[in-house]
Every structure is written in C-alpha cells, then in structure tokens.
C-alpha cells in the first residue's frame, strides 16, 4: 500500500503550481500529530517515510515524538526510509525505495484509557498506511487539546532543524499555551499565495499568526510595488471569513546576509547563506529584510488605524536577533536552541496574560 499523504497545503493551490518540490514539502508533516484516546498497551504506526539527501549523504532517520497523558516520552527514530539522493552539480536524482516502516509505541498497562499524541517528523516526506491497536482494545479520536491556533510561515516555522517534532517553536508554544496547533508553514513557500489565504480564511481558527517576508527575499519573488498590495490582499481574504479573529504578523528574524541587501539568496559551499550581487540598475524597489520589516509594520499599523484592532505585529528580531546568531549555523535557520529561544519570547507576546492572540 502506498498510503495517504497528510498534506499541509490545499489541493487547489498544489494543482495551480504543479511544482514537485511544493508537492513534496506539503507532505512533510511538521506540527501534524495523531491524537487518540485508547486503552491499548501499544499503538502500531505503519507508514512510509522519505528522506532527501545530497549524493553521498548519510541518512539520519525520521524522528517521531510520543506524548501520553501530557507526558513527553523519549523520541523514536525510524530507520526504514525511502531515500532520495540528488546531485546538486547535475540535478540528477536517484531513489532508493524501502518497505513501509512498522513503528510500535509502548503506552503502558492495557485496559486503562490514555490520551495519546504521536507527533510526526518535521523534515521528512510522510504517507500514512495504517494505525493498529491489539485485538480487543478500544480507540477513539481525542478531543482537541485547546483552542485552534493556525500558523503560517516559512522554514523558520516548519523548523526542519529541530531535533524532534515537539522542539519546533510553534509546537513548544502550543503545548505550553494549551493550544491545538495547525502549522501551515512550508519551507521556501511563504509568498503571500492567495490560495493559502483562502485556506486560512476557511479554517476554524481561534487565533492566527503569520511569519512573513523571508521567502519573498530568498526567492526575490516580489519587489515593493507587488509586495504591499499582496500583503493587503492576503489579509483581506482572511478577514472575509475571520473578521474578528486575532491575527499576529511576525516580521523576519535576523538574517545577517540580507539585512541591508536584497535577495535572492544562495547556499554557499561552506553551508552559509549569502545574497547574490546584482547591478545597481536592478536594485530599485528590491526588498531587504530591513525594508520588509518597515513595510509590514507600517501597513499593519495603517490597518489598525482603519479599525482592525485585532491585527497585531511583532518585530521578528525581538524573537531572534543579532545577539542570537551563534544559534544560526547557516545564517538563515536557527538550531534547536534557537527555536527554543523564539518560543520563550513568542509565548508571552501571543498567549501570556496580555497576549495579543488571547480571546478578547
């Protein structure tokens, strides 16, 4: 059996883009978890995991997390993976297939009901084949862990660098705040796409946050003239269906190479992100991170002045700034310690006693 992909991007948008990389990113289940109540002694997950590697790379396995009645257990590493090897020099791709993995999670004594969460990998393709419990055991869907918080963003929010699924900063915040997380952040794919705005509009969110800007610069996908109306259009679409839902816009965290230089960005041979030189004649209207932060802040404040008082903005460099770059190994993505720092700083802003994403 091939299994079922748990896509985090809407089907209509995937059809419109027809981009194999976007399709793969959509199957990476960062923030996705199975939530159930069962009296079984164990749960067996049958699934296909896919790891993408440079040619000659060494697989590291797919990491899953188990939470039983709120207690986080030791991470589980799955070695049975499909492997995709790609050669950056030639763009050649080679697939090394594997059979579905059978992953067993020991829960405890049979006959006692428990709330179980199985958090899926943050950086692997995933297809679910089956979920099994022993004969005679009961299982049912678990109630939500709290009000639904929907987050959209880039790789900074997908957090593929986190060492386990519950160590992404959105997961840390959601567990601490008692929120039910829906993470729609896709690495490289946060470009104010209208179909994403429609998905956010139609979800039953009690709160929405949007980490915006870095992918627009990474891909040099917009200049200022297009970026500003795209941002307003994105928010207008969400507000069509969620007129009173609190929304928090998160501007880009620090990226030293792009603070005062426009994109696009490339990964150097030393594994560090750099911007690409461009002729001065092409620089007019090009976006730096400094300018993106200015624009997002200015236009959120303008919308608030026009009456949208449930819209807020936070400067991303207050969550992860110049003093934190020791935990930015490639100059773009934080490591696990860096994501923990973002979570610790985001939590009070969003869900603390005066948090802007709390119900009014």
pLDDT of residue 261: 94
- DSSP string for residues in 44-71: EEEEEEEEEEETT-----EEEEEEETTE
Domain-wise residue ranges, the chain: 1-143, 145-360
Q: Are 246 and 207 in contact (CB under 8 A)?
A: yes
1 or 359, which is more confident: 359
Q: What is the CATH number of domain 1-143?
A: 2.60.120.260
Q: Is the pLDDT of residue 79 over 90?
A: yes
More confident residue, 268 or 205: 205
- pLDDT value of position 149: 98
Q: What is the mean pLDDT of residues 125-152?
A: 96
CATH no. for 145-360 = 3.40.50.1110
Tracing tokens 């959509």 back to the chain, one arrives at 26
Residue 15 CB neighbours (<10 A): 10
pLDDT in tens, 24-57: 899 999 999 999 999 999 999 999 999 988 888 8
Distance CA 166, CA 67 (A): 9
Q: What is the per-residue pLDDT for 1? A: 57
Which of 342, 7, 329 minimizes the C-alpha distance to 171? 342
Q: Does pTM top 0.85 for this prediction?
A: yes
Q: What is the pLDDT of residue 277?
A: 87
pLDDT over 90 (residue 255)? yes
Task: Check whether 360 has a pLDDT greater than 80.
Answer: no
Q: Token pair for residue 27?
A: 């199957």
Distances (CA, A) of 98 to 82, 123, 180, 296: 5, 18, 33, 45
Tokens of 274: 């750099």
Q: Give the residue with greater pLDDT, 66 vs 284.
A: 66
**Beta-strand pair 247-250/311-314:** parallel
202-234 confidence digits (pLDDT tens): 999 999 999 999 999 999 999 999 999 999 999
Q: How many CB atoms lie within 10 A of CB 128?
A: 19
**Largest distance between two CA atoms of the chain:** 72
């Amino acid at each position: 059996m091939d299994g079922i992909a748990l896509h985090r991007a809407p089907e209509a948008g995937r059809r419109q883009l027809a981009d194999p990389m976007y399709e793969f990113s959509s199957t990476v289940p960062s923030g996705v978890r199975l939530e159930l109540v069962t009296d079984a002694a164990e749960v067996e997950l049958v699934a296909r995991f896919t790891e993408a590697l440079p040619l000659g790379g060494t697989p590291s396995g797919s990491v899953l997390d188990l939470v039983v009645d709120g207690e986080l257990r030791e991470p589980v590493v799955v070695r049975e993976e499909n492997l995709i090897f790609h050669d950056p020099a030639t763009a050649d791709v080679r697939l090394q297939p594997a059979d579905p993995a059978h992953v067993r999670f020991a829960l405890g004594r049979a006959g006692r009901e428990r709330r179980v969460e199985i958090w899926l990998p943050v950086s692997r393709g995933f297809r679910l084949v089956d979920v099994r419990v022993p004969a005679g055991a009961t299982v049912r869907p678990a109630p939500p862990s709290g009000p639904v918080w929907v987050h959209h963003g880039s790789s900074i929010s997908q957090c593929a660098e986190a060492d386990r699924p519950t160590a992404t900063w959105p997961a840390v915040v959601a567990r601490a705040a008692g929120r039910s997380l829906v993470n729609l952040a896709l690495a490289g794919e946060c470009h104010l796409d209208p179909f994403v705005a429609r998905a956010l509009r139609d979800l039953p969110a009690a709160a929405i946050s949007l980490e915006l800007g870095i992918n627009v610069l990474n891909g040099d996908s917009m200049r200022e003239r297009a970026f500003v109306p795209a941002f307003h259009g994105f928010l207008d679409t969400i507000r069509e269906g969620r007129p009173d839902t609190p929304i928090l816009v998160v501007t880009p965290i620090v990226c030293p190479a792009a603070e005062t230089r426009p994109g696009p960005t490339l990964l150097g041979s030393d594994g560090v992100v750099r911007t690409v030189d461009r002729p001065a004649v092409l620089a007019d209207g090009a976006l730096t991170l400094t300018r993106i932060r200015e624009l997002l802040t200015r236009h959120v404040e303008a919308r608030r002045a026009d009456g949208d008082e449930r819209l807020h903005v936070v400067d991303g460099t207050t969550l992860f700034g110049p003093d934190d770059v020791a935990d930015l190994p490639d100059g773009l993505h934080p490591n696990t310690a860096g994501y923990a720092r973002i979570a610790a700083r985001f939590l009070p802003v969003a869900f603390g006693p005066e948090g802007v994403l709390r119900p009014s």
